[in-house]
Amino acid sequence: MEKQMREHITLANIGHVKYIKTHTSGKLNAVWVHNNYGQGTGIAVSQTASSEFEGTYQVTYFDMHGLEVAHLDLKIVKSGDVFNLTWLKNNAITSLGVGMIHENALCVGYCDTNLPS
């Protein structure tokens, strides 16, 4: 019975994104997957970024066909070895995430939210 219940459980509004530094200063390439929206790529352009990914970015995400699916503000704050991420649209929080550096990339799990800004 427990196995049958687990097979029918679905997760909503969660995803994973991996940010990789480019050779161009202040830009990050992204690959993402989301259980409701599929997967795709993205590019983040720094407004204020450090060498450790920390900073603020304008990020645009694309689906697997190259069509734009979202344009958001992204804040990355480092706390020890952990990175806390906040995505915003029109100053309202859309998603929250937590990540770590792995093989020179920032790997992040996130959840969509409707928290007020």
Q: What is the pLDDT of residues 73-88, one digit of tens each?
A: 999 999 999 999 999 9
pLDDT value of position 75: 96
Domain 12-112 matching CATH 2.60.40: the answer reads no
- d(C-alpha 41, C-alpha 11), whole Å: 22
Between residues 48 and 116, which one has the greater pLDDT?
A: 48
Please give the model's pTM, rounded to 2 decimal places. Answer: 0.86
Tokens of 92: 């309202």
Across 109-113, average pLDDT: 95
- pLDDT of residue 68 exceeding 80, the answer is yes
Please report, for the chain, the start and end positions of each structural domain, with discontinuous segments joined by +. Answer: 12-112
